[in-house]
Amino acid sequence: MPSLDGKKILVGISGGIAAYKIPSLIRLLIKEGAEVQVIQTPYSKNFITPLTLSTVSQKPVYSDFFEQNTGDWHSHIGLARNCDLMVIAPTTANTLSKMAYGQADNLLLAVYLATPAPVIVVPAMDVDMYNHPATQNNIKILSDRQNHIVLEAEEGELASGLTGKGRMPEPETILQEIILFFQKKNSLNGKTFIVTAGPTYEKIDPVRFIGNFSSGKMGFAIAEELAFRGAEVHLVSGHVSIPYPIQSNITVHKIMSTVEMLDVVRKHFPESDGAIFAAAVADFRPVSTIGSKIKRENKASLEIKLEKNPDIAAEMGKIKKDKQITVGFALEMNNELLNASKKLISKNLNFIVLNSLKDKGAGFGTDTNKITIIDKNNKKTVFELKHKRKVAEDIVNYLVDLLK
Ligand code: CTP
């Protein structure tokens, strides 16, 4: 079976010289079984004609919201919702910037804004435009966006006569990236994972609790990445203020305390392929919860006796079967590698994700994280500081490799 059999791909073309290569890309996509719908910006018609594009794609090509002669409406919403992937190639500096800031002054941009489908962005421009901080900033904005892949421009001779970074990758390379994308998307079909996320709260009295500053961002990003690759996900989350994921294959279980989190994890763990413990679990809870609000009057101080909570990761580590994979996190301040390795062993994890509070941009609350993965053989893999969504991709890639 061709590798893109039945896949609906929207190819968006903006106005750069590399547009002349897009008919080859369309041919390759169709050869692999894809159905291609082309949208081009009005300016790109200077580089490649609608006639050429409609001939190779075997479909009408759209570039305006409606036909001048007949008034026929090209619904951007219809186009946006009826595709499995949108590929914008070439993406000029101008289109890149408008995509980054949500402008929609042509059909291609309106479709981009309206599509729930993943997007592959293929920037191509002259070297100085590519290296300009504004362009690099826009590339970063789009790379950090969920379900976006930005391909790196290649080095070489440019249309201006200059040499440097800015060339669009060849159609064969873009095709490989598209095939890889769909392979990745389905790599966890039929698997089920549990993800714990956010903080747990332990009640002191009806209005007070012991908690921590965990935002839930890392755990949610992992749940979304697993779901993107086709897995069924049980996301067991403490109280957070970020939006819950909306993918239909993520079931959100909202809990408050560590014991409640353990109950949900215990229920789903035996039938799962594994668990990622990204929650910041409260290690201790008040021995007893006071039934009415504690009053300030007549008290110079207050002592609350705490007892130890169960260790969810360790409990699952005890009952896990050979094929199940468990992944833990360690947020450390001192002796980071040693402490993380100890946790890896004591909780019987397959690997542990270490983030150090000493690293700027890592840990609680931030949008970014910097991690080191340590596995059972004490192999350490260090990653750069990245957006938590990209960190989630690295963690899930590691997990997928273990499943092979
Ligand atoms: N964890 C858990 N249940 C707990 C405590 C921790 O499931 N009661 C999980 C966390 O989700 C994380 C890993 O165990 O994946 C390590 O958490 P961490 O708080 O760093 O470790 P602790 O064992 O609590 O050790 P300490 O707080 O003393 O460093």
For range 126-153, the mean pLDDT: 95
Last residue of a domain, one of 185, 218, 244: 185
What is the signed CA dihedral for 103, 105, 111, 115, rounded to 10 degrees?
Answer: 10
Calpha distance 298→317 (Å, rounded): 47
Last residue of a domain, one of 156, 185, 214: 185
Q: What is the pLDDT of residues 60-104, one digit of tens each?
A: 999 988 777 777 777 888 889 999 999 999 999 999 999 999 999
Query: Which pLDDT score, from 0 to 100, does residue 160 have?
Result: 85
Instruction: State pTM to two decimals.
Output: 0.83
Answer whether residue 316 shows pLDDT above 90: yes
Average confidence score pLDDT of the chain: 94
Q: How far is the CA of 283 from the centre of ligand 1 (A)?
A: 7
Calpha distance 218→316 (Å, rounded): 21
Within a 10 A sphere around the Cβ of 193, how many other Cβ atoms? Answer: 26
Angle at Cα 134 formed by Cα 146 and Cα 369, nearest 5°?
A: 40
Reference 276, options 350, 327, 349, 331; nearest CA is 327
Query: Which pLDDT score, from 0 to 100, does residue 67 have?
Result: 75
Q: Which domain holds residue 122?
A: 8-185
- 266 in the same domain as 155: no
295 in a structural domain: no
Write phi, then psi, for 352 (nearest 5 degrees): -125, 145
The percent of residues above 90 in pLDDT, for the chain, comes to: 82
293 in a structural domain: no
- 101 in the same domain as 215: no
Q: Ligand 1 pocket test: which of 214, 277, 348, 399 has the largest number of ligand atoms within 8 Å of its C-beta?
A: 277
- 264 in the same domain as 217: yes
Query: Which pLDDT score, from 0 to 100, does residue 133 have?
Result: 98
Atom of ligand 1 nearest to the CA of 339: 29
Catalytic pick from 131, 212, 249, 348?
Answer: 212
Query: Sign of dihedral through CA atoms 363, 367, 368, 373?
Result: positive
For range 138-158, the mean pLDDT: 92
pLDDT band at 146 (very low <50, low <70, confident <90, very high): confident
Calpha distance 166→291 (Å, rounded): 66
Q: How far is the CA of 386 from the centre of ligand 1 (A)?
A: 23
For range 235-241, the mean pLDDT: 97
292 in a structural domain: no
Query: Which pLDDT score, from 0 to 100, does residue 28 have?
Result: 98
339 in a structural domain: yes
Query: Which pLDDT score, from 0 to 100, does residue 154 have?
Result: 95
For range 340-369, the mean pLDDT: 89
Query: Which pLDDT score, from 0 to 100, does residue 75 have?
Result: 80
Query: Which pLDDT score, from 0 to 100, does residue 345 have?
Result: 97
For range 336-347, the mean pLDDT: 96
3-class secondary structure, 4: coil
Calpha distance 276→279 (Å, rounded): 9
Q: What is the pLDDT of residues 372-397, one digit of tens each?
A: 999 999 999 999 999 999 999 999 99
pLDDT band at 362 (very low <50, low <70, confident <90, very high): confident
Query: Which pLDDT score, from 0 to 100, does residue 126 have?
Result: 95
Query: Which pLDDT score, from 0 to 100, does residue 144 have?
Result: 87
- 209 in the same domain as 131: no
Query: Which pLDDT score, from 0 to 100, does residue 219 have?
Result: 97
The count of domains in the chain is 2
Query: Which pLDDT score, from 0 to 100, does residue 73 have?
Result: 78
Taking CA atoms only, the protein residue closest to ligand 1 atom 23 is 343
- 256 in the same domain as 214: yes
The CATH code of the domain that includes 135 is 3.40.50.1950
Within a 10 A sphere around the Cβ of 403, how many other Cβ atoms? Answer: 12
Q: How far is the CA of 205 from the centre of ligand 1 (A)?
A: 24
- 385 in the same domain as 340: yes
Q: How far is the CA of 187 from the centre of ligand 1 (A)?
A: 29
- 345 in the same domain as 263: yes
Query: Sign of dihedral through CA atoms 400, 401, 403, 404?
Result: positive
Query: Which pLDDT score, from 0 to 100, does residue 360 have?
Result: 82
The CATH code of the domain that includes 268 is 3.40.50.10300
294 in a structural domain: no
Taking CA atoms only, the protein residue closest to ligand 1 atom 8 is 311
Q: Ligand 1 pocket test: which of 237, 257, 281 has the largest number of ligand atoms within 8 Å of its C-beta?
A: 281
Please indicate whether residue 94 is annotated as part of the active site.
no
Last residue of a domain, one of 149, 165, 185: 185
Taking CA atoms only, the protein residue closest to ligand 1 atom 21 is 330
Would you give the distance in Å from CA 214 to the centre of its chain?
Answer: 19
Query: Which pLDDT score, from 0 to 100, does residue 311 have?
Result: 98
- 147 in the same domain as 15: yes
